[in-house]
Amino acid sequence: MRMRKKKNLEPRLERCEDVTISNPAELRGSWKDLKPDARKICLEIGCGKGRFITTLAAQNPDILYIALEREKGAIVMAMEKVKAQELGNVRFIIGDAAELCDYFADGEIDDIYVNFCDPWTKRHREKRRLTHRNFLALYRRIMKPDGHFYFKTDNVELFDFSEAELPDFGMEILTLTRDLHATDIPNIMTEYEERFSSQGVKINYIEAVFKQ
């Protein structure tokens, strides 16, 4: 997501320091300490402006959510939502999915959510897709063996790629639909999802696990 430079970005980020993990590598292996009674620790990669993670966190106060995003202009809006709603179970990392294994120890994360990631449809850019096997390998390391991976996209090319890539990498697809909103699968709309679906674009969805 290319963001215009946000006004007052640095002071706004400073006001969100209490929900920001500025050195995630220091917490590697001990994220549970942030919420010892947490039933699970779940991660959203590319949280954008945060509607999804704030809604999910409000519905599940017994789960600790980590939201990762590399664009400061987007993540600051997500942080502000969490603070406005006084949610105590969300923390943010300003960082890159490529560094996941520096942030989390093996098996530390339960579920992972990837919503409307950049499709990288130009030739030779597949490796940047967050469902490319190079990223799946990182997810497999940091996830618990019974963790679930949830993926949504409007982009058919990315979805076709992912539908093939996940099983090729040894994942089992539990649920797949090319029209999520026509199903009764529980769903929380993201900012991107609302924009695309209001234009009549169908939303593609996969829930998958790593085969043991």
Ligand X SMILES: C[S@@+](CC[C@H](N)C(=O)[O-])C[C@H]1O[C@@H](n2cnc3c(N)ncnc32)[C@H](O)[C@@H]1O
Among 10, 26, 96, 160, binds ligand X (CB under 6 A): 96
Q: Which helix (H) or strand (E) holds 165?
A: helix 156-168
SS3 62: coil
Minimal CA–CA distance to 169: which of 119, 134, 141?
134
18 among known catalytic residues: no
Position 154, amino acid: D
| Residue 190 engages ligand X in binding (rule: CB under 6 A) | yes
Question: What's the closest the beta carbon of residue 189 comes to ligand X, in angstroms?
Answer: 9
Min dist. Cβ of residue 79 to ligand X (A): 13
Choose, by CB under 6 A, the member of 21, 27, 41, 97 that binds ligand X.
97
> Of 118, 168, 179, 184, which residue is the catalytic one?
118
> Is residue 191 within the footprint of ligand X (CB under 6 A)?
yes
Q: Are strands 148-153 and 204-210 parallel, antiparallel or unpaired?
A: antiparallel
Do residues 151 and 205 lie in contact, with contact meaning Cβ atoms separated by under 8 Å? yes
Distances in Å between the Cα of 150 and the Cα atoms of 30, 32, 178, 204 are 24, 22, 14, 11
Binding residues among 31-90 for ligand X as defined by CB under 6 A: 45-48, 68-71, 74
User: What's the CA gap between 102 and 97, in Å, rounded?
Assistant: 10
206 binds ligand X (CB under 6 A): no
Residue 101 binding ligand X, by CB under 6 A: no
User: Sheet harboring 171-177: ordered strands across?
Assistant: 90-94, 63-69, 40-45, 112-115, 148-153, 204-210, 171-177
Closer to ligand X at the Cβ: 63 or 97? 97
Report if residue 156 touches ligand X, rule: CB under 6 A: no
Contact range with ligand X by CB under 6 A, out of 7-15, 92-100, 102-110, 178-186: 92-100
Question: Binding to ligand X by residue 118, rule CB under 6 A?
Answer: yes
Give me the least distance between CB of 14 and ligand X, in Å please: 21
Which residues does the annotation mark as catalytic? 118
| Residues in touch with ligand X (CB under 6 A) | 1, 45-48, 68-71, 74, 96-98, 115-118, 190-193
